Amino acid sequence: MQKIIDRFVKYITVDTQSDPNNPDFPSTEKQWNLAHILVKELNEIGLEDVTLDDHCYIMATLPSNVEFKVPTIGFIAHIDTSPDYTGTNVKPQFYPNYNGEDIILNKEENIVLSPSYFDDLLLYKGQTLITTDGSTLLGADDKAGITEIVSAMEYLMEHPEIKHGKIRIGFTPDEEVGKGAHMFDVEKFGADWAYTMDGSQVGELEYENFNAAGAVVTINGKIVHPGYAKGKMINSMTIASEFIASLPENEVPEKTEGYEGFFHLHNMKGEVEKTELQYIIRDHDLKLFKERKVLFQKLVNDLNKKLGANLVEVEIKDQYFNMRKKIEPVMHVVDIAEEAMKQLGIKPLISAIRGGTDGSQLSYKGLPCPNIFAGGHNFHGRYEYVAAESIQKATDVVVKIAELTAERAKK
């Protein structure tokens, strides 16, 4: 357990925040810092074919230790952290034998991680919680996933009595800005299927995710002196507020759950002359997803018609699609993960992801890739936490999947 904690801390204290506004690949130079650490570590534990390409993708191989043919499986995680909250100077805090009470993350600023608000905390009473100090995110998304994969590969290297086929591992950049799978070389990876270790609560197993698009709404105004503005000034921020109000008020992340889709305004900046709104559009159902995009465009058109001029522009780009369509024909890949959890005494929680992973794009590139829990909660912010025991359990699941895949191949 301590070795896993030490490995996790080593990873999260390296700042790897990605940048959605930089078209370079990777979008930030600092992602290379963790990439080089990982390459060194993978070589040290004895993996083969360790590569780091020009776009910061890492791949490596754990060779088969059996003589019969076993499908090649893969495990994938991402090295970047969310651009939504700073990952600089992460100072993890540790709470062994968590007692179920409030955790004071930052006394000076009165930042409290409380089970009265985040009730999932109570699932981890008696365990070792790792939290932030209230000033950064933690980085369990997805450095917990990296920790689990590396730890599992090291364990399998040290325990050759556990029989397994060839295993490929991959670490990607820029997942948090939607580019994590864009330059992933599926043919080079060479796996029959894979799993992303990028879920949350212990037991999560997911093969459905949102269909996703990003939308940028630009409103153009006109600035003149406010004392002489009548009939001349066009305040882009006022128009922006009208557009925001035109969307269905209950179809937002904070008011939806399960399979319900939403429109999410995640960034806005503006002044009188120009305002930009950045949205994400999400729905599990492809038909409803398409209807959401049509509605979004219609609201822009309606507003321009009302204004009597084309002051509002919109660009909508698809990001990824629901992987269910690609996973259902090969459901045995989900069955193996489910059985692995059951054999380890973990209750599988099969549900749809209210988000996306590299696995959704990889599934459409020909690599079926459901998602498995990594253990963290409250991703992308100061209240992020993970139990050390959850990282251990996810590590055990990786090992067990490798073992079960070989057992099934032998029959």
pLDDT tens figures, 56-115:
999 999 999 999 999 999 999 999 999 989 999 999 999 999 999 999 999 999 999 999
For the chain, the structural domain boundaries read 2-209+322-410, 211-320
pLDDT at 411: 76
Q: pLDDT tier at 355 (50, 70, 90 boundaries)?
A: confident
For 317, the token pair is 């780009």
- DSSP-assigned letters across all residues of 330-351: GTHHHHHHHHHHHHTTPPPEEE
| CATH number belonging to domain 2-209+322-410 | 3.40.630.10
Burial class (CB in 10 A: 0-12, 13-18, 19+), 274: middle
What SS3 state is found at 320? strand
What average pLDDT does the segment 389-395 reach? 98
- Half-sphere exposure at residue 316, Cβ-oriented, CA atoms within 13 angstroms: 17
pLDDT at 48: 98
User: 3-state SS of 227-240?
Assistant: HHCCCCCECHHHHH
Of 231, 185, 204, give the one whose Cα is nearest residue 377: 204
Look at domain 211-320 and name its CATH class: alpha beta
* Percent of the chain residues topping a pLDDT of 70: 100
pLDDT at 105: 96
Q: 283-297, 299-313, 320-334, 347-361: lowest mean pLDDT where?
A: 347-361
Residues with a catalytic annotation lie at: 80, 175
Average pLDDT value over all residues in the chain = 96
pLDDT at 357: 80
pLDDT at 178: 84
- Half-sphere exposure at residue 193, Cβ-oriented, CA atoms within 13 angstroms: 25
CA R_g for the chain: 23
The CA distance from 130 to 376, in Å, is: 9
What average pLDDT does the segment 384-409 reach? 98
Alpha-carbon torsion 130, 77, 183, 286, what sign? negative
Tell me the per-residue pLDDT of 183-228, one tens digit each, with 9 for 90 and over.
999 999 999 999 999 999 999 999 999 999 999 999 999 999 999 9
pLDDT at 353: 87
Asked whether the predicted pLDDT for residue 356 surpasses 90, the reply is no
Tell me the per-residue pLDDT of 50-71, one tens digit each, with 9 for 90 and over.
999 999 999 999 999 999 999 9
